[in-house]
Structure 1
Amino acid sequence: MQDDSGPALPPAIEHVWGLRGRPPRGPRPGLSVDAIVDAAVRVADADGLAAVSMSRVAKELGAATMALYRHVGSKDELLTLMVDAGYGPSPGPSASDQDWRAGLTRWAWAEHDVLRQRPWLLHIPITGPPITPQQLGWLEDGLRCLESTGLAENEKMSVILLVTGYVRNEATLTAQVAEGSRAAGVEPGELMPAYRRTLSRLADPARFPALHRVLAAGVLDQDDDPDDEFTFGLDRILDGVETLVRARASAGAGR
């Protein structure tokens, strides 16, 4: 007989789904999984993911480090719970008057805003597909945006993977450039002009003619608005999805 119960879930996952609580062994009064996660998120928001440790979180709560392990079995468990809490609830399904493209654009911008506000989320390794309640809520709402497209279910999943991959990549690039600029002492708005001056000195026009045409056009005279860059890339991705949607509709009409 086939066992449909599935593999055993990590305690952290069972907790966020309310499947079971970690049995207490004389825990400090007031200490709970939720309180520990909230404290860890506060530390990450203030000082970045590198500052998060079991001892730092315990200090935040005024508790002994070992007391935390009665509720959260390891730092990896804590990180899993932090991702769920850090993302928070999804923006919800798109409004009834929105088409799939408007809905998916709204969904992508919502994820974009979370990752801009909490770039430490980008430093937590992805070890598998989403499984926590908040993450599955985001996935559900993204898929619901595509309900009217006529795409196959596997295609809808692929579209969501493509869009969220773009959002994460853009957020990672933006965060890394900002960190690098701060470390180099470059003032906001001066990164591209400084880069242009450097390229003008280093890049031989005979060897890099295409690059010099970019320089001559003034493309690097000022920093781009990151939101403009995000909009450009997202629109191009959705243009491709729209082409696929139209192709599937044409194929369906021809049957």
Structure 2
Amino acid sequence: MAADEDTGLPASLATAWGFKARPSKGPKPGLSLDRIVAAAVGVAAAEGIGAVSMGRVAKELGASPMSLYRYVGAKDELYILMQETVMPAPPGPLPDGAEWRTGLTRWARAQRAVFHENLWLLRIPVSGPPASPKSVAWMEHGLAVLDGTGLDEATKLGVLMLVSGYVRNEAMLMSDLDAAITARGHSPEEVMRRYRRTLATLTDPERHPAVTRVLESNALDQADEPDADFEFGLEVVLDGVAALIARRD
């Protein structure tokens, strides 16, 4: 990743933070960084992040691929600018008297909403800790929510990594499952019924007593609501954070 000569930052971050000057005029009339990023977001939303390339974005804009490099130095720089474009500001301040759990729940739900609205974000490789303007703003908000918990700063960062990791993993899993269900043309309920029949065929009480107990219960009778699954998992994660806070106290 090339670095900006003036700041020493990777060029992608220097551009996102506004340290790197954006060209005011380009070789093609009407071409601008904002238009390039918007076109890239459009391609990702329609075809997935794998379809985003300088050539593909240039085709959308009716420009040559080389003309884009006047504005964007590389694809990883474009990725960061795309993320900055679709990422909203973090949730506003907590109401007076609200506790950390309320704030972290709202923080997690808001992140999940961003992923579900922009599933292509989940496919961008994670290349390092938060360093772009909006990702740092989200980190700032999450850390502020944990003020007053008694946790040290390193532990607060660990809590945010745990919660954001859960959110990202859940969003990716639900995205993959939804895509698979859509491709098969079955409803979630039918998929669960088929899975139940498959398990019943492949297992027996002697070798798989725990699975048998699940089959004999109503746990696989119908598909759970995705929101309910997310809330259940989030509550379990936050229960662990609450236990950590109590132990530190």
TM-score of the two chains, using structure 2 as the length reference: 0.91
Percent identity of equivalent pairs: 51
Q: Answer with 228-237 or 38-47: which moved more.
A: 38-47
**1:235 aligns to what?**
235
**Paired amino acid for 2:183:** A
Alignment of 1:1-255 (within 5 A): 8-23=8-23, 26-249=26-249
Q: In the TM superposition, what is the alpha-carbon distance from 1:24 to its structure 2 partner?
A: 6.6
TM (normalized to structure 1)? Answer: 0.89
| CA deviation string 1:109-155 (max 9, x = no partner) | 00011111211111110011111001111111111110121211111
Q: CA RMSD in A?
A: 1.9
Deviation at 1:47, TM superposition (A): 2.1
1:69-97 alpha-carbon deviations (Å, 9 max, x no partner): 11011112111222222323222332333
Indicate if the aligned counterparts of 1:24 and 1:71 stay in contact, CA closer than 8 A: no
Contact 2:7/2:19 (8 A) holds in 1: no
In structure 2, distance between residues paired with 1:100 and 1:10: 34
Q: 1:104 is matched by which residue type in structure 2?
A: L
Conserved? CA contact 1:44–1:52, under 8 Å: yes
Structure 2 gaps, min length 5: 1-5
Q: Deviations over 1:20-45 (max 9, x none)?
A: 21457843232222221111112212
> How far apart are residue 59 of structure 1 and its match?
2.4
Structure 1: which 5+ residue stretches go unaligned? 1-5, 250-255
List, as ranges, runs of 4+ consecutive aligned residues in structure 1 with deviation greater than 3 Å.
22-26
> 1:90, 1:226 → 2: CA distance?
23
Determine the C-alpha separation between the residues in 1 that align with 2:181 and 2:7.
45
Of 92-101 and 209-218, more deviation after overlay is shown by 92-101
- Partners of 2:163 and 2:237 within 8 A in 1: yes
